[in-house]
Amino acid sequence: MFKIQTLNNISRIGLERLPAGQYNVASDQTDPDALLVRSADLHKIEIPASVRAIGRAGAGTNNIPVAEMSKRGVPVFNAPGANANAVKELVLAGMLLSSRNIPDALAFVSTLPEHADAHHAMEAEKKRFVGSELSGKTLGVVGLGAIGVRVANAARALGMRVFGFDPHMTVDGAWQLSADVVKAGSLNELYAASDFISFHVPLNDATRGVFKAESLQVARRGVVLLNFARDGIIDAGALKAGLDDGTIGRYVTDFPSKEQAVHPRVIGLPHLGASTAEAEENCAVMVVDQLRDFLENGNVLNSVNFPNTRMAREGKARLCIANQNRPGMIGRLSQVLGEAGLNIAQMHNASRGELAYTLVDIDSPADAAALETIAAVEGILALRVV
């Protein structure tokens, strides 16, 4: 029986893919085999030594200590693209909320009961909320992954001119991107050209403060910034300065700080990008399926720290070995298996950065002593038999 601990609400449709006879799923568990999370901050808790895998029902993994998990030989899975459409739709809503002054107009409408002649008040005051159209405006998209590509293509369909910047874009992403999207040579080129700038990058050391004080010098006056990626992508000091002096016309964000939440130029939402029934289900189904295949077969798909590794089952048992990626590991493993009298039916090894992962199907079950000897090989981070 595998024990899965859920640290957030995970879509029931996803959880139903874990058979009750084989999986015990609960928010409270002792010695769980795996954790299932959405935005729970795992940097703030001690992750039990029993944990063999972590599943993130979403895209961003900055709430998970991925580097520490790699050292423990624990894969972290996510659900790439599974909530991208939901975020794209909210970004489009964000552009419209800002361009048509919708929050201010809604606030005014809520005061109508105070007016003797509501119809007259409406017609008299509507000039305060005159907006502008998206068609013909320029959008800059920073990060052309699952969300950025969709946002760029949707903006093109609305008649916008689109600049994109992503030095690490994948070939698949490039295939999906509208050919009309202009490749910006630098962030500053994109900032200088854009009426709207939408950020779709993961939060890491390279992207923290990707819009900063110097960016204000090149940005168009009145630019609308949309941040549905993470708090921290836009430097807080630069943002405040830009909002206060009007360089930034609006800041539409899924991550408002307390100060930003009450700023008249900020449109804040409570991290709603992926909060649709469809996205929650897509993410849960994808990550649960990946977690199950790892726990039951050792296969790896869509991990952010392990290489994709898949092998059809053969033999009597499978060893799943995470090890440091250094010369001689496979040779040493084969030697130890041979000395333990274990014949290899088939084997697959893949590496990613400093970590390597090996699946070994063996023709006879391994006893406890043999497993102990294998686990003791220098450089082995984790060993499981499935």
Ligand X SMILES: O=C(O)CC[C@@H](O)C(=O)O
Ligand Y SMILES: NC(=O)c1ccc[n+]([C@@H]2O[C@H](COP(=O)([O-])OP(=O)(O)OC[C@H]3O[C@@H](n4cnc5c(N)ncnc54)[C@H](O)[C@@H]3O)[C@@H](O)[C@H]2O)c1
Write down the least CB distance from residue 94 to ligand Y, Å.
11
- Active-site residue numbers? 230, 259, 271
Report which residue type is found at 249: G
* Residue 39, contacted partner among ligand Y, ligand X, none, CB below 5-8 A by kind: ligand X
Tell which residue, 83, 127, 87, has the closest CA to residue 105.
127
CB count in 10 Å sphere of residue 239: 27
Nearer residue to ligand Y within complex by CB, 38 or 137: 38
The residue within the footprint of ligand X, chosen from 14, 58, 140, 256 (CB under 6 A), is: 58
**Which of the choices ligand Y, ligand X, none does residue 148 contact, using the CB cut-off of 5 to 8 A by kind?**
ligand Y
Under rule CB under 6 A, residue 59 binds ligand X: yes
Question: What's the per-residue H, E or C state across 92-104?
Answer: HHHHHHHHCCHHH
Residue 201 binding: pick among ligand Y, ligand X, none (C-beta 5-8 Å cut-off by kind): ligand Y
Single-letter code of the amino acid located at 44: K
Phi, psi of 38 (to 5 degrees): -115, -95
Q: Which residues pair with 347 in a beta bridge?
A: 360
Partner whose footprint covers residue 229, from ligand Y, ligand X, none (CB < 5 to 8 Å by kind): ligand Y
Two tokens, residue 36: 């299932």
Q: Is 162 helix (H, G, I), strand (E, B) or coil?
A: strand
C-beta nearest to ligand X: residue: 58
64 lies in the site for ligand X, by CB under 6 A: no
The contacts of residue 240 (CB under 8 Å, 6+ apart) are 259
* Piece in contact with ligand X (CB under 6 A), picked from 121-129, 150-158, 182-190, 268-276: 268-276
Among 32, 60, 73, 256, binds ligand X (CB under 6 A): 60
Q: Taking CB under 6 A as the rule, does residue 274 contact ligand X?
A: yes
Q: How far apart are CA 243 and CA 98, in angstroms?
A: 14
Q: Residue 49 carries which DSSP code?
A: T
Q: What's the min distance (Å) between Cβ of 215 and ligand Y?
A: 13
Q: Which does 38 bind (CB under 5 to 8 A by kind): ligand Y, ligand X, none?
A: ligand X
Q: Which residues would be at the binding site for ligand Y (CB under 6 A)?
A: 58-60, 80-81, 83-84, 87, 142-148, 165-169, 173, 200-203, 206-207, 228-230, 254, 271, 273-274
Closest contact distance (angstroms) between CB of 31 and ligand Y is: 30
Pick one of ligand Y, ligand X, none as the site partner of residue 195 (Cβ within 5 to 8 A by kind): none
Size of the site for ligand X (CB under 6 A): 9
Which burial class, exposed, middle or buried, applies to 221 when counting CB atoms under 10 A from its CB (0-12, 13-18, 19+)? exposed
Closest CA to 140 of 120, 158, 121, 166: 166
53-90: burial string, b at 16+ Cβ within 10 Å, e else: bbbbbbbbbbbbbbeebbeebbbbbbbebbbbbbbbbb
Site membership for ligand X, residue 38 (CB under 6 A): yes
Q: Does residue 83 belong to the site contacting ligand X (CB under 6 A)?
A: yes
At closest approach, how far in Å is the CB of 83 from ligand Y? 5
Q: How far is the CB of 259 from ligand X (least distance, A)?
A: 21
For ligand X, the binding residues (CB under 6 A) are 38-39, 58-60, 83, 273-275
